[in-house]
Amino acid sequence: MTGITRRSWLKKASLSSGLAMLGSAGFVPSLTAEEIRKYNPRPFDGIVRLGSNENPYGPSESMRKAMTAGFDLGCRYPWGYNKELEKMIAAKEGVPEDHIVLVAGSTEGLKIAGVTFGGGDGEIITCAPTFLSMMTYAELWGKDINWVPLTKDLDFDLDEIEKRVSSDTKLVFLCNPNNPTGKLLPADRVLDFCETVSKKTIVFSDEAYYDYITEPNYPSMVELVKKGADVIVSRTLSKVYGLAGIRLGYLIARPALAAQLKDRVVANTNIMAIEAGKAALADKDFYQFSLQKTLEAKAMIIQTLDELKLPYLPSHANFVFFQSGKDIVEMNKIMEARNIIIGRPFPPLNDWCRVSTGTLEEVAVFNQALKEVLG
């Protein structure tokens, strides 16, 4: 399985150690003054945060201006202002507006879907490891989770999930590309699986990392929603659009399912999120910049992993999952001592590490530390 800037650096004297690491890595700051203004790179504050799959860029200049311009509406409740954003999302996804459910981050969408359709005495089927928000929240409400291990190649085991679907199964959860592996299911197989299983129960497809997929013409399960299938798709503006701190996501589902989900929404959007979302969807320049920088950062990480001969998985996300050979709890402590934060444990893959793509400067610091620790 093999797969920042000078301005921000100089703000604090405490950054000297980080600067020294960058120097030892032979890295030259990469963005122009105009790019810094437009794309808002995360300030290099001495701690390299590569543990939460955040976009290190954004909100973009256009998004910041939109939020600022929306301050005068901050005294208003947001639901009177959702329509324009819903219309933009619907046009983007190619569905009518009654298919869209706005939520304060896609995690909210996962949670409400789990408790809405996880069903009384029924169960949710999914694989492990994966993104856990739906399942951990559903368990708080007494829902049962039928856990299926990943395959030996660390893919969702669609065959085994399909075998386990029964009258007790109220929802099947897929994360594609999967978090933490970054792997992508074969297009024909996942389409066939979702279409077949959705005739028996609801299928939830978490597509938080869909924008990062590099396989040409890879289908979203929104195509099945358009056909009226019992499929729910979640998307987020936290990743490629750089709005993780603003909290904005959405679900796509046929109208009857969407209406049920809307009744369960707890964390509504807000005026600033709505304005940021509209600007984000219109800012094609920032979108392409984010994708390009993610590819560059992944390439840097992979080059170092190749040099160290560490196994890793092909990633269609903004992170890389690699086998460090060290228990991840120990690895976290070692890297934290170097002011670098990496991903949490994903049992049973306890010697695997998920590292997010930061700015190129942050990745250079991570790479240098990894060579010192594992070289």
Retrieve residue 331's tokens: 């690895």
Considering the four listed CATH numbers 3.40.109.10, 3.40.190.10, 3.90.1150.10, 3.30.200.20, the one that applies to the domain covering 6-60+284-374 is 3.90.1150.10
Query: Tell me, what's the pLDDT at 19?
Result: 44
Q: Region 125-154: what's the mean pLDDT?
A: 95
Query: Tell me, what's the pLDDT at 375?
Result: 83
Q: Whole-angstrom Cα distance, residue 331 to residue 324?
A: 8
C-alpha pair distances (Å), 46 with each of 4, 22, 30, 318, 336: 11, 11, 18, 22, 12
Predicted confidence (pLDDT) at residue 193 exceeds the cutoff of 70: yes
Query: Tell me, what's the pLDDT at 229?
Result: 98
Q: Region 295-299: what's the mean pLDDT?
A: 97
Longest dimension (CA), the chain: 62
Predicted confidence (pLDDT) at residue 2 exceeds the cutoff of 60: no
Q: Is 174 left (phi over 0), alpha (psi -120 to 50) or beta?
A: beta
Q: Region 35-61: what's the mean pLDDT?
A: 94
**pLDDT, tens digit (0-9, with 9 covering 90-100), for 51-84:** 999 999 999 999 999 999 999 999 999 988 999 9
pLDDT band of 28, cuts 50, 70, 90? low
Predicted confidence (pLDDT) at residue 285 exceeds the cutoff of 60: yes
At 160 the three-state DSSP class reads helix
Q: 């996962």: which residue's tokens?
A: 110
Query: Tell me, what's the pLDDT at 29?
Result: 57
**Angle in degrees, CA 93, 99, 101, rounded to 5:** 95
Of 125-134, 217-226, 259-268, give the lowest mean pLDDT range: 259-268
Q: Region 23-29: what's the mean pLDDT?
A: 53
- Asked if residue 250 lies in contact with residue 101, where contact means CB atoms within 8 angstroms, the answer is yes
Q: Whole-angstrom Cα distance, residue 168 to residue 251?
A: 24
Give me the DSSP letters along 243-285.
-TTT--EEEE--HHHHHHHHHH--S---HHHHHHHHHHHH-HH
Rounded to the nearest 5°, which phi and psi values hold at 203? -110, 130
Q: 């203004």: which residue's tokens?
A: 37
Predicted confidence (pLDDT) at residue 198 exceeds the cutoff of 70: yes
At 159 the three-state DSSP class reads helix
pLDDT band of 27, cuts 50, 70, 90? low
* Positions of CATH 3.90.1150.10 in the chain: 6-60+284-374
CB-based contacts of 53: which residues, under 8 Å, 6+ apart? 179, 239, 317, 318, 319, 354, 356
β-pairing verdict for 48-49 and 144-149: unpaired
Considering the four listed CATH numbers 3.40.50.300, 3.40.640.10, 3.40.50.1000, 3.90.870.10, the one that applies to the domain covering 62-282 is 3.40.640.10
**pLDDT, tens digit (0-9, with 9 covering 90-100), for 304-363:** 999 999 999 999 999 999 999 999 999 999 999 999 999 999 999 999 999 999 999 999
Write down the pTM of the prediction. Answer: 0.91
Predicted confidence (pLDDT) at residue 5 exceeds the cutoff of 70: no
**Angle in degrees, CA 325, 174, 296, rounded to 5:** 55
- Asked if residue 165 lies in contact with residue 197, where contact means CB atoms within 8 angstroms, the answer is yes
Query: Tell me, what's the pLDDT at 108?
Result: 95
* Positions of CATH 3.40.640.10 in the chain: 62-282
Residue 138's Cβ-count burial label (10 Å; 0-12, 13-18, 19+) is: buried
From start to end of 82-177, where are the E strands? Answer: 100-103, 123-128, 144-149, 169-175
Query: Tell me, what's the pLDDT at 16?
Result: 41
Residue 317's Cβ-count burial label (10 Å; 0-12, 13-18, 19+) is: buried
Q: 């169960």: which residue's tokens?
A: 123
